[in-house]
Structure 1
């Protein structure tokens, strides 16, 4: 793996080089003194990631990352910067994947870069990796997008209300969790709840995200497509609410209850990525699954050699979301592959998804028996279905 560091201060680059040598990283690091030199190096060598300062003379970090996203869409793009004004950070929101603050210790830098690049092997398609790596955001359901727009432009809007709106949309939820869990806004701790994230980011940032940065966009329906965002969102909300109720009923900790809701909302985000990346191709996959009476993820493997679970986990990992949520998204069709063999957020979301999809007791019992929860099927189903009434 080859990583390019860009900073206009030579002493910073020398310190980075010494730190990386001492940390014995498993990748090659090269260094550029400004954006112009970085672009020249990118034109002549293959890089997997670029780590840039924000404030530089001439072309700054945000402009550099915009250019890199256009020319080299497969490259992981990370900001490593000290004091940066809010306007500059918001300009970087679209092209960056993650944001780290100076000073940054070796372990944080090493783990962030390694983790951001770690899941590339789960996607065999280079074109699909490029598409996902270059996504600035995902489209939102029109009714929720309109509701959010109306809320932030009202005179008496409250951040708690905005948070509740964002929690109803997987695209907004994913993006706002990416931002709040970066160092760009100085939160200093991991946040797992989109509603909490909205309150922490504040009025000005939320308004900018909706009105100026272009990361929140409205889904444009294609009448020729088999894909329905309304259907996906209804299912995702049901799974989120079902998972939250099961987690509460089982006495899980408050953080796990919140994770169950968030992971339930995001578990199928890979479907949205695939459907919006190539609408025609995904329509063929949906048609194949329906005509062959097979599961959608099996049809996805037939066409793509991967599935929406891996695609969704890849993007959320790239964006730096909490690992507990990424694991659920990645394994929500294969919970038996998890190391933990007991009741967990993953098993709760899996059960909620299966109930929402109309699975019978036999389909539920095999896995639940492995975590000693087979006897809970009837009560969980009743609890979930009572939420729909």
Structure 2
């Protein structure tokens, strides 16, 4: 087993740097918190202080992913059109993408595939939340965007460990989290949540990420951790392309009053087409 505690200790000492001023992220999180009454133009002013971040945000806002009828010419307009929660999610995605930009990822790490999965899980999280917990749709969307950030960290900081996990998955036909636990006693959810806590994200985001492969341990955040877990598993089924709905997944969806086949059909409609491709390209660049 690799020294997992040593990895976490090193992460605490030297967390990967953000691609923009950490103070800016703290302001964004404060302005977009549940108890904030800040106006949208205040968020636009804060983001506008960083030209590079503003440029990336506008490129994503104008991508086919959002399908807007007219061009978004300014950060202020982006906040007005997309909403503060969506802009926060995009800023956090840019933060996560900066990890890959600053590390030499293994050649076999599929960064575009990674971001496609994150965006699709985020969309699925929002779809599920709107049916069973509408007030949590935004936070679950953001959790979906960030749920596998621990994989980026492992691949960037410990490429040998990441490769060992891939080999273990192939040799013993294990799921990712199971192979990670076998290799060094923790999974990417724990690693990712640890980084997000260093970025001062609230427990409402970090805990579902932490426990998305073991939601029964998420305490007060178990419901959202279960929804994130379901979204992830639905996506894995969709990505396999065989149309086979695991009985356990159908049963777990039913605990929320959701019909598995309806959810699978709705997910297929949600993810049809290539609108997501442009946003993937921006994040994987």
- When normalised by structure 1's length, the TM-score is 0.49
Q: CA deviation at 1:307?
A: 0.9
Q: CA deviation at 1:291?
A: 2.1
Contact persistence 1:246–1:383 (CA under 8 A): no
Residue 33 of structure 2 is matched in structure 1 by 190
What are the residue-to-residue correspondences of 1:2-151 with 2, within 5 Å?
125-133=4-12, 134-137=14-17
Q: CA deviation at 1:201?
A: 2.1
1:86-139, CA deviations, whole angstroms, 9 ceiling, x for partnerless residues? xxxxxxxxxxxxxxxxxxxxxxxxxxxxxxxxxxxxx9734212332212336x
Contact persistence 2:106–2:156 (CA under 8 A): no
Partner Cα separation in structure 2 for residue 257 and residue 186 of structure 1:
17
Partner Cα separation in structure 2 for residue 223 and residue 298 of structure 1:
22
Gap change, CA 1:223 and 1:129, over 3 Å in 2: closer
Q: CA deviation at 1:336?
A: 2.1
Unmatched segments (≥5 aa) in structure 2: 57-94, 238-243, 273-285
Q: CA deviation at 1:331?
A: 1.1
Query: Greater helix percent: which structure?
Result: 2
Residue 257 of structure 1 is matched in structure 2 by 137
Count of aligned residue pairs for this structure pair: 219
1:166-217, CA deviations, whole angstroms, 9 ceiling, x for partnerless residues? xxxxxx7xx78x645636x79466279xxx8963523123537999xxx747
Q: CA deviation at 1:318?
A: 1.9
**Over aligned residue pairs, what C-alpha RMSD do you find?**
3.6
Residue 48 of structure 2 is matched in structure 1 by 203
- When normalised by structure 2's length, the TM-score is 0.64
In the alignment, does 2:256 pair up with 1:373?
Answer: yes
Contact persistence 2:15–2:198 (CA under 8 A): no
Residue 209 of structure 2 is matched in structure 1 by 329
Residue 63 of structure 2 is matched in structure 1 by none
| Aligned with residue 247 of structure 1, among 129, 135, 152 | 129
Query: Greater strand percent: which structure?
Result: 1
Partner Cα separation in structure 1 for residue 133 and residue 257 of structure 2:
17
Partner Cα separation in structure 1 for residue 138 and residue 235 of structure 2:
19
What are the residue-to-residue correspondences of 1:253-332 with 2, within 5 Å?
253=135, 256-332=136-212
User: RCO (CA 8 Å, sep 6+): is it higher in 1 or 2?
Assistant: 2
Q: CA deviation at 1:295?
A: 0.8
1:32-61, CA deviations, whole angstroms, 9 ceiling, x for partnerless residues? xxxxxxxxxxxxxxxxxxxxxxxxxxxxxx
Give the 3-state SS of the residue equivalent to 2:17 in structure 1. coil
Partner Cα separation in structure 2 for residue 125 and residue 224 of structure 1:
20
1:212-262, CA deviations, whole angstroms, 9 ceiling, x for partnerless residues? xxx747637969643211111111111011111222233612xx1111110
Residue 68 of structure 2 is matched in structure 1 by none
Give the 3-state SS of the residue equivalent to 2:219 in structure 1. coil
Contact persistence 1:267–1:329 (CA under 8 A): yes
In the alignment, does 2:246 pair up with 1:364?
Answer: no
Residue 74 of structure 2 is matched in structure 1 by none
Partner Cα separation in structure 2 for residue 237 and residue 296 of structure 1:
19
Contact persistence 2:103–2:157 (CA under 8 A): no
1:10-37, CA deviations, whole angstroms, 9 ceiling, x for partnerless residues? xxxxxxxxxxxxxxxxxxxxxxxxxxxx
Q: Which one has the largest radius of gyration?
A: 1
Contact persistence 2:104–2:156 (CA under 8 A): no
